[in-house]
Amino acid sequence: EVQLVESGGGLVQPGGSLRLSCAASGFTFSSYEMNWVRQAPGKGLEWVSYISSSGSTIYYADSVKGRFTISRDNAKNSLYLQMNSLRAEDTAVYYCARTSGYDSDFDYWGQGTLVTVSS
């Protein structure tokens, strides 16, 4: 069974940093592209970042470029999101999501981890 479990969320002050993790199991993690998607309270879905299966290709949304860094450790079946210079508008539930092996939709999602940026 495919499982994605996020961790690392919490309360952080504006300008602070946080590192999110996503532990993957039930599939060959090193074969799949991965993403981070966030959802502000009561709002819709916003794609944040993408990383290829090898980690060689990375994309970011303009809203986080230069502040967030996506990475992965295929030996540990883990995906990460380093978030620096956090702002109030970064407050959201952050989901890791797997890119489908058939198409480029997101076929599995974790349950999410809440990041709250507030003083």
Partner 1 sequence: EIVMTQSPATLSVSPGERATLSCRASQSVSSNLAWYQQKPGQAPRLLIYGASTRATGIPARFSGSGSGTEFTLTISSLQSEDFAVYYCQQYNNWLPITFGQGTRLEIK
- Contact positions toward partner 1, by CB under 8 A? 35, 44-47, 50, 59, 61-62, 95, 100, 102-112
> In this complex, which beta carbon is closest to partner 1, that of residue 66 or of residue 102?
102
- How many CB atoms are located within 10 Å of the residue 115 CB? 21
* Shortest separation between residue 85's beta carbon and partner 1, angstroms: 20
Q: Chain centroid to CA 10: how far?
A: 14
Choose among 21, 31, 26: nearest CA to 53: 31
* Shortest separation between residue 84's beta carbon and partner 1, angstroms: 20
* Shortest separation between residue 119's beta carbon and partner 1, angstroms: 27
Phi, psi of 59 (to 5 degrees): -130, 155
